[in-house]
Structure 1
Amino acid sequence: MIPKEKELKLIKIYMYICDVYQFSLKFNCQRFSNNANPVFTDEELLTAYLFCGAYQRYFNIKDIYTFTKEYLLSWFPNLPSYQTFNYRLNRLSEAINELVKHLITFFKPEDCDSMTSIIDSMPIITCAGKNKTGKVATEIATKGYCSTKNMYYFGLKLHTLAFRRKGTIPFPEMIILSSAEENDLTVIKREMADTLTHRNIFADKIYSDFAFWENKQQEQEVTMLTPVKAIKGEDSIITQREKAGRDLFSTAVSKVRQPIESFFNWLNEKTNIQRAMKVRSTSGLLVHTMGKIAIAFIYLIF
């Protein structure tokens, strides 16, 4: 048995998942076989996964299954074997991705500043170490370097463009996964830049590209603000003369963009998303990443 308060949370999550499933999720996991309508439904599977992650803080699939079997069997009497549970959850990776889009689109807080965005990335680590070679999800995971942690790792990058919220952590507008080796600036140019309009974006030095963003400012009224990068070959006299002004500007930009780090810390604290060492497949890695984001926002919203 679980406390009455948590039972109400379980019911709310189930009702929400049922609504979203009929609205959009089912189109990302349709079956064309004799088992198109399993007794243990996708809605029940997602509800068990999200509830155990958000309110019981179980993030390992085996732990989620065990808790469901021991304490939630009256709610899920048709629970299949662990192998089937795990297999079907991995098959829902695209549906979970769609669920995350739904959560950040329809639950946007009113205090979001739509004219000011913050962007950064965080590593999702399947294997760490300079000389180690990852053997998991090699279709999407590669070797990269995290300058913040001064660490080589194998895995993915989670890129987040978020609305600034005064006095609290920002709220994501767009979340994108890329391989660890991809440059952050390359990803935003390819995946985000053309959709952005009428805003100021605060970011780290790696996103600095004066010519590219000057063009975007003229075409889409998008201004990219980053700490000032050292100019190669600049005369030392000019560098010294401009140092005070550049330092003040860089400090101001860093102060505005700092909350994105708080967002990543919150996400990792709630779900342990960065540690993906136990993942064994590409679909499992996608479920681990987007599933953890869904768990964090289910907890926040409900």
Structure 2
Amino acid sequence: MINQTKALKLIKIYSIICDRFEKDLKYTCERFSNNDKQDLTDQEIMTIYLFSVQEEQRFSVKHIHKYACDYLLEWFPKLGSYAGFSNRLNQLSEAFRCFVSSLSEEFLPSDCFSNQSLLDSMPIITCSGKRNAKVAKDLTDKGYCSDQYETGRYFFDKLLA
């Protein structure tokens, strides 16, 4: 059970995704098989993922699925298993790319250049490849890029405002 403020945010995220899905996202994840009608829709999976990352700061798929099972099951009763959720989420990678691309075009600041990027050419090594990090564990992860997360969070906050 989630509180009313979070429930309203969940509904807003779902409605935004449904609007964008009807415009252009549905073409990025179209299925050409006899199993094209799923119990849990692609919009619902994207909503669960984005809500869990935005509101609960859950970044691994396993934690997102566990949170959805514990707190969002009344909203998404046909959630299913972790393996199925993870597989469907991976199939939506192109839809997420198009969604973020459309957000960045819509909310790009005026002083920002869309054709230029900035890369950190000097990463800081916090531990050797064989060891686990002991310093800044929440920031030093092989699969996590804080710049990408903050950029996506900026656009998503603008969308929800």
- Do they superpose with TM above 0.5? yes
Q: Distance in 2 between matches of 1:88 and 1:275?
A: 23
Q: Is the 8 A contact 1:97 1:290 kept in 2?
A: no
Q: Does 1:301 align with 2:159?
A: yes
Shift of 1:95: 0.9
Gaps of 5+ in 1: 123-145, 155-270, 278-288
Deviation digits for residues 153-203 of structure 1 (CA, Å, limit 9, x no counterpart) = 99xxxxxxxxxxxxxxxxxxxxxxxxxxxxxxxxxxxxxxxxxxxxxxxxx
Q: Distance in 2 between matches of 1:62 and 1:119?
A: 31
Identify the residue that residue 124 of structure 2 maps to in structure 1.
149
Shift of 1:106: 1.5
TM-score when normalising by structure 1: 0.44
* 2:20 alignment partner, SS class: helix
Query: Of residues 138, 143, 146 in structure 2, which corresponds to 1:276?
Result: 143
Q: Does 1:54 align with 2:29?
A: no
Shift of 1:28: 0.9
Structure with greater strand percent? 1
Q: Is the 8 A contact 1:53 1:295 kept in 2?
A: no
Judged with a 3 Å threshold, the aligned counterparts in structure 2 of structure 1 residues 37 and 105 are, in CA distance, closer, same or farther, namely same
Shift of 1:272: 5.3
**Aligned 1:40-189 pairs, distance under 5 A:** 40-109=40-109, 112-113=110-111, 119-122=117-120, 146-149=121-124
Q: Aligned residue pairs: how many?
A: 151
Q: What RMSD over aligned residues (CA atoms) do the two structures have, in Å?
A: 3.3
Which structure's CA Rg is the greater one? 1
Q: Distance in 2 between matches of 1:292 and 1:113?
A: 17
Q: Distance in 2 between matches of 1:23 and 1:3?
A: 31
Q: Is the 8 A contact 2:29 2:91 kept in 1?
A: yes
Judged with a 3 Å threshold, the aligned counterparts in structure 2 of structure 1 residues 150 and 74 are, in CA distance, closer, same or farther, namely closer
Identity among equivalent positions (%) equals 36
* 1:52 alignment partner, SS class: helix
TM-score when normalising by structure 2: 0.78
* 2:118 alignment partner, SS class: strand
Q: Is the 8 A contact 1:14 1:44 kept in 2?
A: yes
Deviation digits for residues 84-120 of structure 1 (CA, Å, limit 9, x no counterpart) = 00001011111111111011012234xx226898631
Q: Is the 8 A contact 2:2 2:71 kept in 1?
A: yes
Judged with a 3 Å threshold, the aligned counterparts in structure 2 of structure 1 residues 117 and 35 are, in CA distance, closer, same or farther, namely closer
